[in-house]
Structure formats: C-alpha cells, structure tokens
Structure 1
Amino acid sequence: MIQIPRGTYDVLPEDAFKWQKIEAAAREICARFNYKELRTPLFESTALFQRGVGDTTDIVQKEMYSFKDRGGRELTLRPEGTASIVRAYVENKLYGDPNQPQKLYYIGPMFRYERPQAGRNRQFTQFGCEALGSADPSIDAEVISLAMTFYQTLGLKKLKLVLNSLGDPESRKAHRDALIAHFKPSIGEFCDDCQQRLEKNPLRILDCKADHNHPLMATAPSIIDYLNDASRDYFNKVKAILDEMGIDYELDPTLVRGLDYYNHTTFEIMGASQGAITTLMGGGRYNGLVSELGGPETPGIGFALSIERLLLALEVEGISLNSDPALDGFVVAIGEAAEQKTPVLLNRLRLAGLTADKDYIGRKVKGQFKQADRDKAKFVVVIGDEELEQEKAVVKNMADGSQEAVAFKDLTDYLKEKI
C-alpha cells in the first residue's frame, strides 16, 4: 500500500473546518488592518532563498527541498514566505504603486526537510504578513498588533510577546566584531556549522541548537550594548507605541531569529504547546532584503506563523473550534417516484443559497433520518407518493419535532424564512 510521505499529513473532513475557521479569521483580521493577499508559486529559483534567506542558515544549508527541472534550472520548494513575497514585489514593480506601503499577506504550504515532531512537519502551513515601503516605527507596532489580535480572536490567552532589536548595519557590524572576538579563541569546541559561521555570520552561532548549552553562549556580547543612538531611538519608539496600545512584552537580547535578513525590530510570540512554552510565530524588520533581491532600497517588516502550532496551542488551552456546519435541509424520499423528484427539489434549494443533501445509497426511511441527524439537518423534507399527488412536502423541524405540509412551489421560501 502506498502511504503518505514522512513529515506530511492528511487533513480529514472532520478537521478541515477548523482550518477554514482559522484561515477565515486570518483573512478577516487582515482586511481590518488593510492587508491584501498575494499568492506566489510553491517553488522558486533556488538562488532566491540562498540570497533572501541567507546561505548561512540551517534552512538553506540543510532543510530545503531542491531539484533540477528538465531544463536544468535549480528550483526549490519554498521553505518560507517572505523571500517569495519580496521577489514578487520587485518583479511586479509594486514599489511603483501609489498605494504605499504595500501591506500584503499570504496563507499556504511551506516545505522543509527536518525531523518531524509535533507542530513541526516537512510540509507545513504558514500565515504571514509583510509591510513594504515604510520605515515608520508605528508600522512595526501595527504588524505586532495584527499578530496578537489574530491569536486573541481565536481565544488564546497564554501568550507572551518577546522583543529585541538587531540595530542598523553600523550597530550590527560592531556587534559582529564583538561576537567574533568572543567566540574565536574557543571556536574549535563548537559544531562544524558554527565554525563555518564565525566569519560569515557569527550572529547565527547564537541560534545554534547543537551548542546552545556551551558556557560562551551565556556570556556572549548582547546586541543591546552595541546599538547606536539611531537604532536605540527607533527601538524606543516601537516600545512606546506598544505601551500606548496596551500590548505587554518582554525584552530578550538573545532573540536573533533564524533568518539572515532581519535588522532593527525582531519579535516572537510564545504560547503553550503540549504543556510547555514554545514559539508560535516570529518576525521582524528587514530593510535590506528588497535591494538584495534586485529592487530599490525599501524598508520592510513582517511575520510568519505556523497553523499547525496554533492548533496545538488551541488544544492545550482547551479551546474548541468544533462547529461542524449543519445542513439547512435533508430531503427524504419514500418510493421510486419520490426518488425521481428529490434531485429537482434539492437543486432548487441549493440554487436559493440553502445547504441541503439527500441519500444516495438506497437507505430505508429510518436510515435516511439517521443520516439527516448525522448531518445535523435543521429540517427534514419528506416526499412520498401522497406528497407527490398533492404537490406538497412534509417539512419536519428537527429542533422541536413539529411538522407542516408545504407546497413544492413554496418550499424554498418557507425554509429560508424559518432558517
């Protein structure tokens, strides 16, 4: 038997409506904040992620699904959304649109080759937002507020917002030099990846999973100590706006994020998952990414979150999304002549905007009523020989058991009025 690939999963019909509710909430909140959807391909040029995500990251070095097509082109299933959004922004010249900043969002599958575990799969779904074209600290706060609003709208309460600043290029260079000086004498004690990253991007060492318990990690220079006046002022403005909004946060100078393109504000939202605190989402500012991918100098900020981790957090907090949609009507046919009539009535109900169904596998009357119960039908429309002769249906209200004869021609209006 052919089985599903490792690290992937099926979303069965009884769970799909939970995803639909989450996606609907994301779209509704994005509309409130005036963010518009942008859809990009599932695969892109491998070079996009090497340049956009960073060739010193675990994603590029170890986790990408890359392949050559028949034309010999190097392609990669997208491992994250921001690089693709920025590529589309540059390629379609959205920087020339009079509506600035461009406030965009995406929902879709991403792919990373990593060890599957709860909330971490090889195919996973991300919801993300990107604001391109503004260096205003208030849009940093807006993006953070959008993410918090999304989680809170779905009912999560055990949330913690964590903030840091990576500063501007001048601040990052000063911090980079300090990190190299700190780690270089003992770099031989670190993993091969960290040894390669020392000169290329020492900030990545702080994000290493293999060496996170090394004593030098705890004493590494903090970026906060290397922020210049402009970077410190920017970060203070972001914090002040969040304070005014009433959004609580904690400062974490070790928060560096896993991608190379971040600068200035970085943030994560933590939540409960399987009894532990875990990262539900992360984001930050990336003022150099657009120019890195061939566009003009353009500031940007965004976030991405995992729908799978959100579902785990909802489960831990005991928040149910169970509201499997009920049918408005279920048509029960008694006899062969009635069977011929039900598809016509059923189609009429559906064209009028009602949700309706019937039996398709020859169940007896009792079995048809049981199926109506399983479908949570609000009304059952019963048609037999007598009803056909009178051109009326017996309509049973499943909530109170009452029933009424209704002419076929009036059935649609009757059900719409009752519902």
Structure 2
Amino acid sequence: MASAIGWYGPLIDLSKASSHVGDFVQLLVFVHRSTPVQYKVSKGGEIVRTDIQVGDDTRPRFTVSLWQKQMGSLAISGDVILLQNVKVARFGDLIDARTVSCSSIVPLVHSYELMVSEDELIGNSRLGTAAKEKLKKVIGWVKANELIIRNQKQLSRNWKVLEVGEHKDCTSISEVLNLTCSCKAIFLASVGEIFLPIVWRATCEIEKEKMFISWRINSKDDGGLAEDFICTGCQLCGSPLELDRSKHALKQNSVPLYCDKSSNRLHVVSLIYQPFMLYLYDESGSLPLLVKNKAAELLFGNIPAERVYLCLEANLPVHKSSSKDVPETHYHAGGPQHGAPAEGASDIVSPSGDEMDREEKNKCHGSVDFHFVWFVMLKMLLQQGKNSPLGFEVNVDPRLDRESGRYEMVTATMPCFRNK
C-alpha cells in the first residue's frame, strides 16, 4: 500500500510520534485550528507558515507546521485530513511535525459530512485497510467528544457602528476581526506564536525559522535571542532608531523624525524591545498583534529591555561582550538634544550613562538576573495549550493592513476565573 501511493513512512498514532523523531510519517487527524503566520518584508516577498493543531483518538492535541503556502488552504478547521510524508521533529521538550517538499495533504471528510454515518463515510473512501480503520477511530472520537458542534457553533457578532476611541468588549477573535472602525477592543485569547522579523541582516532558508520564537525557545543550540529582541530606539513610541533596523520595521523607509507619543516631540532614546508580531488564537480564529516596546514590557512582566540586556552583558565573558551603547540624550533627525526629558519618559534613561551601566551590571551579579527571568517569561508565554487565555486591550486601526499594525497591543492582563 505504501509504495503504491508514494508513502515514505508508516501511518502512526499521534501518541507514538515521539518514537519517530527525524522520520517521515503519515498522519490521519482531525483539524482543531489553523493559524496562518505571514509577514511581508520591505524588499518584496513574504514569509508564510501555517500552524495547524490536530488530534486523533490517541492524542487530543498536536501541532503540525505547514511550510508550503498552498497547503494552508487545504487544512480547514473541523475537517479530517491525511498528512502524507511529514517529518517529526523535536525541539527541547516539544515534539511536532512539519511539511517538506515531498509532503502533501489529502482532505478526507469535511465537517458537514461528519453528520453522515461512519459506515457510509468509510465505504466511500479509497483508503487501504489500515487507513480505513484509523479513519473510523478518528470519526468516532470526534463524535464522542462533540468536536463537530464546537467547531460549527455560531459565534455572536456585533454590527453596531463604532465611534472613534470607543472601548468594545468582544467575545471572540472573530468579533475583533469584524470591527470596521477605530476603537479599543478588549477580549480573551491564547498566545500561539511570536514572530520577530529579523530582516536587517541576510538570512538563509534555515535561519528563517529563527524568526519563529517558539522554535528558538526549544532549540538548545540557538543563541543571541535577547540580542535580536533588543535594539536602540525610542522608549515612548517604540520605533527602532538604528538605521539598519528602522528601515525594515513596519515598512518604514528611514528613522522617524519625531516621536508622536512625546510632549516635546523628541525621542527618548534607550535600549528597547524590537517591534514584533504576537499571534493569538481562540476557537473562532487567529489574529496577528503588533507589539511595541511599552506593551512588550507589560507582556514580559514589567521588565524593561535595558535591564535584560545589562544583565546579559554582565554574565557574558569579556571577549564575547557586544555592548550596545545606552544613549544619554534625546533625539530627533536634526541631531541630539540635551535638556529635560519628555513627559512619560521613565527613569531608565539616566544622565550618567557609563556610570549607570557599571552600577546596573554590578546589581545583576548580586541580585535578580533579569535576563533569566525574561527568558522564563518568554518560554511560559509559548507553552501552547498549557496556559489559560490572557486578557488583551488592543488598538484597532482599520486603515492599516495586518502586517503594519492594524491591531496593536496596549495592555495584557491575567484574568481571574472563578467557579460559580
């Protein structure tokens, strides 16, 4: 059977995936959710990956990464599909599967067909004996767990015309996606992926995976994560002020002249978190969220980027240190500006630059290692399927596309769920 249809490996249960790390396998699964991860780069082209969460009768949740753009349209939530010639991989404690050039997807049963009797569905398929038996088990598992009803549930939508600046409580991501006016949306969602566009340096195909932080978090050999997250920029507006980074961030062509978050329009220069995309999901869909410096601090437990970097530098050997300068001045395009800090600036930017660096590094040796705490927070955020949803407040600007900040994070909170 395998040779007749070009299979490179066995048809396995998801529970046995850990025994096939590095091997090609076939997976017959139910699709819970499909999350496209897409980023358009300023030089043209785009990086596309679709993460699907699947399950079968032996394991309810398992992640498969689809690296071929056309495959994403075939993996529809609520369908039963056959994934052919996918490769099982391990990153730290995480085991998942990914497609390669010889992989393919065969839709077997659409969600609306799952209401039909199992015998009729299986009888009409052209699968072999083992695959038919597996299909029967998966369909039975889906019906027993009422996954059909859950995926077909009609979610409430709000068609009210929103006023600018209005706060809107949304019950799901699909409701946020249907907002057509500028507003602040408040909703619950889970974190699926963090995408950091590393486009200021040349990257090969393999290095593109490093832009997906869940991969790097679970890779024992990868370093430089904090250095890629942190750059010189404005504390208030979150714009990178390093020319090689700013010209790629959010499709900008140059360093922004003035700060739109400052009372005197001057940038407050310090080490900041590089803008990144946070991909959220719930049962209704997925949403890409732009996260800039101030919002990133909240997401990472109120830890400023500068503290992370100074602790990292303090723990590195001298010959490996690649210190970023911590600017002492405020900045606009005409040159540095000395004087009073803008309204809203924090105490991180100190008038005693070198002295502050030495003091902060000494503190890192004797107290909290903020780099380690930041890494733990980042890893906890990406424990997909193990965390409760977070509460998000998001600025919605329908004039922008998704990759340029249509949805921008303001705050994130951990809601308290109480049993009635």
**Structure with bigger RCO (C-alpha 8 Å, 6+ apart):** 1
Normalization by structure 2: what TM-score? 0.22
Normalization by structure 1: what TM-score? 0.22
Flag the structure with higher strand content. 2
Flag the structure with higher helix content. 1
Which structure's CA Rg is the greater one?
1
